[in-house]
Structure 1
Amino acid sequence: MAGNSFSTATAGTAVDGYFAQVTHQPQHVVERRLQQSIQQETTPITDVAPKLRTRQRLLRGLSRMSSSSSLTSTGRTRSSSTPLPKSGASASCMNLGNSSSSMVPSPLNGGHSAFAFSPLVSPSIPGTPIEALSPACSTPTQPFPPFPHSKSFNDVCKGNQSSIDLRSPVSRPMDMTRALSMPLPCPKPKKTFAQLWDSLPHEVQVHTFRQLRPKEIICLSRVNKKFHKLCFDGQLWTTFDASEFYQEIPVKTLAKIMISAGPFVKNLNLRGCIQMELYQDALLMASACNNLVNANLEGAFIESEKVKELLRRNQKLAHINLTGLTCVYNETCFTLAEHCTQLELLNLSWCRNTTAIGVQTVLRSCSKLRDLRVGEVIGFDSLDVAKTFFETNRLERLVMSGCSDLTDSSLKAMLHGIDPQIDLLTDRPVVPPRRLRHLDLSRCTRLTDRGVASLGYCVPNLEGLVLSGCATLTDRALEPIFASAPKLSHLDLEDLVELKNELFSKCLAKSDCAKSLKHLSISYCEDVGDAGMIPVFRSCTNLRSVEMDNTRVSDLSLTEAAAMVRTRASRAIVRADRPYIGLSLTVFDCPNISQTGVREIMTRNAEMLIPPQSESAGAGFASLYQCSAEIISLKCFYGWQMTVDEHTKRIMRGHLAAANRLQRKWADYIQATEEANAGGANGRRRRRRAREARQVHADEEAAAVGTGLGMTIGRRRARTATCAIM
């Protein structure tokens, strides 16, 4: 009896554990719910008190089980050691409390076998009928979900033996209907890539395709119909820049993209698309775009009618570039002035079929025009056109490069108007100041000092002035400009051969624009030397670029530039910070520049600055990177340029020791070369030393620089210069 009780408790606990797995609930929750079900459905038994299973009774039962003659086998039985059969019927659990209980097979799930458990009765109540316990227990046995094939029933029982309550008075009957109503969990099938992609929102798919290059998008359009439709979606081409890929895709595909994405395109760039000239649907392609804001047609071969159609359909156009188009005429400018009134930038440079009359029409109609570029456009000698420029007074950038028709009278009319009122005290015209900030008058060969000087005291907001190529200008044309333009930052005076040192030393260095000047070009100003540039380097401390090629400057100007950078430069406090180029100097073809000035620049770039006392007293001084954060980029004589570039690369990488070694070996080579050229009694020995020094310097330049400070990757040759004694 004790053995039957133990087996009953074990089976009941195992079934509870299995139901806990099926319902995905903890085992103690299932046990508690089953106990509540027993209390509600079973008839209470009050006539016979149940016998409690004590420790002594359990031991006696185990002793009887071991002495029984029917249990001669010491191992597990076949039914408990083998997995469940896949077909046929199996024996259900018996009512161990009644001798009339029998094992009744029960087919489950249409031929599949499993254990169907009948209600279990405590062995302390023999002879109790099953119907007396609960009306629900008299119903036919319900099918029970099978155990998983990976575990046998005995394995489930063994896994739950630790949770058997041996002190329980009765074994628990179960509510089979409630348990079997719960569906078995089934694994969800994994979704394929196509299913995952289709489940994404359309906006996410478009955003994903935007991360690809245009050529890759065109290749993806051949995958399937869905990808083809998505690749030609207009939302994907709001910015259409064909200048990067127009040579990689066919013109038909290019036109198809524009036709399908036309209403969505806002930024259109067809720069250089020459294959569109012979395409028959180019007019349809131009008419498809009707929401353009920025359009760049520079170099594209498009017919005049197609350009007009494009302008008519895009009234929100703000920036348009028609540089170099032969199909642009004055009629095109009239269409532009009529339909594109929101225009802010217009570039008609090198449009040889356009004249100043068309530009005048656009200037009158487009009230928001701020940037006008009309390089090499003819007809600006007209005073009527110049009067329109004066009356509108809206332009902030005016580029008239190469306008050979521009004269002094027309330029004065643009700035002062026709017959302005003259102030008797200052002898200056009384006119509103111009809004110009950038003015390009390069290669306007008919301008003289009289016309350029009219810019003085008229353009107070001027920041950029380009006068290169106006060879007739002298100091008198620039003196009033320097005195009245305090915001001047870019000054290009290339090829002005009449300029002198006094203009820079007395006017530019002492003017209000000295502190704001950043870029200065005096190339081919052959009369300018150290007398003019040294005061400029001392006063203009914010210079970032200076071009002085083909001038008379010498090593003194380079030394002064290095001193200016040394004064304004800051040190990099941490090692991760690398130097950057703060000043660019161009001094090639300057006969007075020698290797002494070049070495001064190289020394300045690689010098170690002395840290402040507060930093040297700190504990972390060893981790400081004491190189200057600002260095000088130098363009010098072509024979020295390779050494200077390699030295600059090593400084930029932080390899100060390697840079110093390169500088030292180059100095030895220069010195040996100069001695060899001097001649004398020991000329042969000096030439040999020069060859050896040249070879050592070549090996140093060819050494590959590593990542560590002053370390090199690879192995340099063990070649050194000749001993001084020998």
Structure 2
Amino acid sequence: MASQVSDEILPSPGNISPNSPTNSAGQIPLEQPPKLKGRQKLLQSLQRMSSSPTLTRRGRSSSTTSYRRDNKASLSCVSLSSTSYSPCLGNGSSSQLYGGLNPRPATPGCSGSPGEPQGTNARIRLMDTDGPGFTTPRTVPLPSDVRPASRGSPRTATPVGVKVEKEVITPESQPARTLDFWGDMPQELKIEIFQYLTPQEIVCCSSVSKTWNEMCYDGQLWSKVDTTEYYSKIPSDVLVKLITCGGPFVRDLNLRGCVQMREKWSTDGERISDLCRNVVKFSLEGCRINKASIYSFLLRNSRLEYINLSGLPSVTNSAMKVIARSCPQLETLNVSWCNHVDTTGLLRIVQSCERLKDLRASEIRGFKDEKFTLALFKRNTLDRLIMSRTDLTDNSLKMLIHGENPNMDILTDRPIVPPRKFRHLDLHQCPEVSDDGLKSLAHNVPDLEGLQISQCSDLTDESVMDVISTTPKLSHLELEDLENLTNITLVQLAESPCARNLEHLNISYCESLSDTGMLRVMKNCPKLQSVEMDNTRVSDLTLMEASFRIRRRGYSDELPKVGLRLMIFDCANVTWAGVREVLSSNAYIPRASRKPVSTVVTVTQTPDAGSSPETSTFVTPASSPSPSPAPTYANEIIQLKCFYGWQMTVDEHTKRVLRGDLAAASRLDRKWAEYMIATEEAGAAGAGARRRRRRAREAERLYNEDEDENDAYGVGSISALGGRRRRAQSGSSCIVM
């Protein structure tokens, strides 16, 4: 078996000079071959001819086979008779690519023909590759430095030792770009940022630059123009500019109290009406505006849902006619205190505006007209109806609730009508309403949440109790100045289904009401937030019950908040002791939540008359605190409005409790109590008057003095034993201070 060998390149003697000339093909040969003559030159030419690839394309056989023509041998057969010759190494281009290397056939035992000169150039010799198992390819690849860069054009190798200088082309230096954060920001983001500013801040920013001025008066920022907070500070020119810049973007226009616009409505009213055509909420309460501007604005805004024209003398029934014709989507209308409007104009609105839910018409004439109340009955879409200070009568109120000639239930003797959708009904100061008219509300307003029947002097317990017992959702009840009301109404209120939802109660100037009814109300109404009891017969018992109910709402680590507001002006039975009970309850902490306090006991003993006294001090250590933090503040406290002479002390005490300074609040409570006691003693007659007056002055001095150190009294008017050390002065006794 022939041994497996690989191709081998025999190096030629000598080194190649870097300055060697190149051949005609542009290649650098390893060594200049000698010029051949005679037979050798002829054989080399024949070898090139026989190895040419054109012979294959012409159908001629390869030079490695025995080539015969007419049974005669040719010269090419003589030079290519070896069977181990490879055509790929003997083609005409091999000598050119290899720079003069002679790719002649060779055998392992012979390095060349006998006639060739030895050592003239390097040769490529093929080793034995005909043996079995040979896997090495029989072709030799071109060196990487002479491979052609493209088809048909070989790449010239760089001679060894020659340095090639490369020209580096650097781009022209450009100035560093500065980041303009605000300038590169999209316009939409800028507008979004400006929307977080208040109107006053936006107007101030408009003076920064011309660009900012354009952005600040962009219409997207003024979709809501509400001048409630700055109506007295903004000039009329700036206000007109805001409205006109907003233009079609304005949807909420509230000009309440802008009296400075009086002249602008005459000059720019038409332009404002032309630009603002998409307004949904419109309020002119307290403004000075002419009729033409009102009519022009109402005619051009058919999408109005909320209109507030209260207190405008220029609003008449003609304006109501315009609203009824051009504002079909109206839901809320406020025409209170418009002296030139009556129910004749409101009737057109009720008949035309099918979505009307809120009608506020205080001090409007014509509510005794049953035709108007019958139209309200047929509409039955109102959630809120305000008819205070009107000429409403019992018959018109019955027409509003029962309609005209309703069918009667035989068993209950009540009219069979659909229930009304009223949630808030205001009938206060309607002097012509009596029990007969108010009873019509019973069983017909199940969704009623707010009822105001104050100053209806003819109402009694009978009608009020019927309404209270049939309105389970009632949360606000106004019963002010009902002289005929008694404690029976309060007891019925505490037992009615609405007691668990009641939040606001007003019984001021009901002089017949006392603790009998209010104690039941305080006990059975857990959600009470406001109680007005001016000029009633309630006493300190009601305040104590209210304090107890507020304490039951719990304690926590968070600062307290106001949970109940009590008004007890001019209540003859309320004393400073009841007020102090409320203050002490606000600063009260449960016993388990108090901080441990060390008790200091000083004992002075005198055994004999001639011996010196002996003093002993005992300190009781504080108990160890509980592992879990206990609550320290009440969840809710009482805010009290009382006699004006006590109000400053009450307000200061409430401020200290709300900020969590319970020790300071307790100290103020104690000093105020000492001052009140001394004042009462100073006013008493009899023996010791001078001594009591002196003690009163001393108590007043201590009350006015603001001590910063913490005293021995605990929080919530509970004093600890000991505290500040005091030395007892006694002859032969033992006194524990």
Match status 1:418 vs 2:404: yes
SS at match of 2:307: strand
- Given candidates 698, 712, 718, the residue that maps to 1:692 is 698
Write the distance in 2 (CA, Å) between the matches of 1:402 and 1:299: 19
Tell me how far 1:499 sits from its aligned partner.
0.6
> Contact (CA 8 Å) 1:276, 1:282: kept in 2 or not?
no
Write the distance in 1 (CA, Å) between the matches of 2:164 and 2:688: 118
- Aligned letter for 2:387? M
Change (3 A) 1:183 1:454: same
- Aligned letter for 1:517? L
Match of residue 78 from structure 2: none
- Aligned letter for 1:680? G
Change (3 A) 1:446 1:175: farther
- Aligned letter for 2:215? L
> Contact (CA 8 Å) 2:231, 2:256: kept in 1 or not?
no
- Aligned letter for 1:183? P
Q: 1:243-298 CA distances to partner (integer Å, 9 max, x unpaired)?
A: 43344343233223322321110110111111222221122112221001111111
Tell me how far 1:182 sits from its aligned partner.
4.0
Match of residue 160 from structure 1: none
Write the distance in 1 (CA, Å) between the matches of 2:184 and 2:729: 81
Change (3 A) 1:413 1:532: same
SS at match of 2:333: strand
Match status 1:226 vs 2:211: yes
- Aligned letter for 1:600? E
> Contact (CA 8 Å) 2:235, 2:260: kept in 1 or not?
no
Match of residue 482 from structure 2: 496
- Given candidates 580, 585, 603, the residue that maps to 2:566 is 585
Q: 1:676-713 CA distances to partner (integer Å, 9 max, x unpaired)?
A: 1112221111101101101111223x9799xxx99xxx
> Contact (CA 8 Å) 1:355, 1:379: kept in 2 or not?
yes
Tell me how far 1:724 sits from its aligned partner.
13
Once the two structures are superposed, the pairs formed by residues 302-321 of structure 1 within 5 Å of their partners are 302-321=289-308
Tell me how far 1:597 sits from its aligned partner.
1.0
Tell me how far 1:353 sits from its aligned partner.
0.7
Match status 1:292 vs 2:282: no
Match status 1:385 vs 2:369: no
Write the distance in 1 (CA, Å) between the matches of 2:511 and 2:578: 20
- Aligned letter for 1:181? I
Write the distance in 2 (CA, Å) between the matches of 1:688 and 1:284: 76
- Given candidates 645, 648, 670, the residue that maps to 1:639 is 645
Change (3 A) 1:510 1:242: closer
Once the two structures are superposed, the pairs formed by residues 180-579 of structure 1 within 5 Å of their partners are 180-183=168-171, 188-191=176-179, 195-279=180-264, 280-403=267-390, 405-505=391-491, 507-567=492-552, 569-572=553-556, 574=557, 577-579=558-560
- Aligned letter for 2:216? C
Change (3 A) 1:281 1:694: same
Match of residue 661 from structure 1: 667
Write the distance in 2 (CA, Å) between the matches of 1:690 and 1:186: 89
Write the distance in 2 (CA, Å) between the matches of 1:670 and 1:695: 12
TM-score with structure 2 length normalisation? 0.69
Aligned residues: 537
SS at match of 2:415: coil
Q: 1:54-103 CA distances to partner (integer Å, 9 max, x unpaired)?
A: xxxxxxxxxxxxxxxxxxxxxxxxxxxxxxxxxxxxxxxxxxxxxxxxxx
TM-score with structure 1 length normalisation? 0.70
Tell me how far 1:137 sits from its aligned partner.
10
Change (3 A) 1:188 1:393: same
Write the distance in 2 (CA, Å) between the matches of 1:395 and 1:346: 11
SS at match of 1:633: strand
Write the distance in 2 (CA, Å) between the matches of 1:687 and 1:175: 115
Change (3 A) 1:542 1:249: closer
Write the distance in 1 (CA, Å) between the matches of 2:428 and 2:725: 53
Match of residue 607 from structure 1: 588
- Aligned letter for 1:452? L
- Aligned letter for 1:641? Q
- Aligned letter for 2:694? R
Tell me how far 1:425 sits from its aligned partner.
1.6
Q: 1:14-71 CA distances to partner (integer Å, 9 max, x unpaired)?
A: xxxxxxxxxxxxxxxxxxxxxxxxxxxxx99999xxxxxxxxxxxxxxxxxxxxxxxx
> Contact (CA 8 Å) 2:324, 2:353: kept in 1 or not?
yes
> Contact (CA 8 Å) 2:540, 2:575: kept in 1 or not?
yes
Tell me how far 1:358 sits from its aligned partner.
1.2
Change (3 A) 1:408 1:44: farther
Tell me how far 1:534 sits from its aligned partner.
0.9
Consecutive unaligned residues of structure 1, counting only runs of 5 or more, are: 1-42, 48-131, 139-172, 711-718
Write the distance in 1 (CA, Å) between the matches of 2:402 and 2:573: 44
SS at match of 1:469: coil
Q: 1:203-261 CA distances to partner (integer Å, 9 max, x unpaired)?
A: 12222333334344334444443333223221121111234334434323322332232
Q: 1:590-617 CA distances to partner (integer Å, 9 max, x unpaired)?
A: 00001221121122112112459xxxx9
Consecutive unaligned residues of structure 2, counting only runs of 5 or more, are: 1-26, 32-155, 594-622, 716-723, 731-737
> Contact (CA 8 Å) 1:611, 1:626: kept in 2 or not?
no
Tell me how far 1:416 sits from its aligned partner.
0.5
RMSD of equivalent CA atoms: 3.0
Tell me how far 1:186 sits from its aligned partner.
5.0
SS at match of 1:583: strand
- Given candidates 166, 170, 180, the residue that maps to 1:176 is 166
> Contact (CA 8 Å) 2:382, 2:421: kept in 1 or not?
yes
Write the distance in 2 (CA, Å) between the matches of 1:312 and 1:136: 98
> Contact (CA 8 Å) 2:522, 2:546: kept in 1 or not?
yes
SS at match of 1:351: coil
Tell me how far 1:532 sits from its aligned partner.
1.4
SS at match of 1:509: helix
Detail structure 1 runs of 4+ shifted over 6 Å in the superposition. 43-47, 135-138, 617-620, 702-705
> Contact (CA 8 Å) 1:215, 1:248: kept in 2 or not?
no
> Contact (CA 8 Å) 1:609, 1:627: kept in 2 or not?
no
Match of residue 153 from structure 2: none
Change (3 A) 1:245 1:676: closer
Write the distance in 1 (CA, Å) between the matches of 2:279 and 2:660: 48
Match of residue 64 from structure 1: none
> Contact (CA 8 Å) 1:412, 1:451: kept in 2 or not?
yes
For the pair shown, the structure with the greater C-alpha radius of gyration is 2
Determine which structure has the larger helix proportion and give its number: 1
SS at match of 2:365: coil
Bigger mean CA deviation after superposition, 431-440 or 463-472 = 463-472
Match of residue 685 from structure 2: 679
Aligned residues: percent identity? 45
Write the distance in 2 (CA, Å) between the matches of 1:720 and 1:684: 30
Change (3 A) 1:703 1:637: farther
> Contact (CA 8 Å) 2:592, 2:630: kept in 1 or not?
no
SS at match of 2:338: coil
Change (3 A) 1:133 1:356: same
Tell me how far 1:667 sits from its aligned partner.
1.5
Tell me how far 1:183 sits from its aligned partner.
2.9
Write the distance in 2 (CA, Å) between the matches of 1:565 and 1:688: 39
